[in-house]
Structure 1
Amino acid sequence: MQDLLTQVSRLTRPALLVRAARFGVDGYDRARHLGRALGSAAPARPGPALAQLLEREALLDRRRRSGKGDYSAARHTELLIAVMGEARALRAARAS
């Protein structure tokens, strides 16, 4: 299995989604946003949270690619912001 940060770096998503998420990641507040992004209680550490977020984001990306009517670009952006925020937190935790 790939390292979580490697998985994040290898994500290929539409440029507009990525730009929107990069714009929003500076305002990412783990305490406020992670539970909403996961739809459940947030894990204490960024690694498990990032793993859950990547699973949910992959499901949403499959919906996007299949053209399903229940796809939400706003929800996808929200998940990508959380992925980027948790990836930052994981990098910081590993650096210290």
Structure 2
Amino acid sequence: IALNALRLIDTTIGEEIVDQPARKLSLHEGQIVEIARALSTGAEVLLLDEPTANLTAGETAKLFSVLKRLARDEGIGIVFVSHRMREIRELCD
């Protein structure tokens, strides 16, 4: 079930982290797991509060790619809270 949920987000990351204890995951990987958990319960809307606060620029770019694809391809609604207006402008439609 976990692997299928992770594959909704990223087809490669699931294989890499599905058997890892949560304490060994990076912040980005932990956020991916949290998003996958929400999606596996049938969530139609994700509420993300400052999800990039502790991410690197590369991890932020990966997260944005995932969020954009979920909204576009899966029809998932995303409420994104951030103090960084650049992020808001990049994600909002």
TM over 0.5: no
Name the one with the larger strand percent: 2
- Shorter chain as denominator, the TM-score bin is 0.3 to 0.5
Higher relative contact order (CA 8 A, sep 6+): 1
TM-score, normalised on structure 1? 0.35
Name the one with the larger helix percent: 1
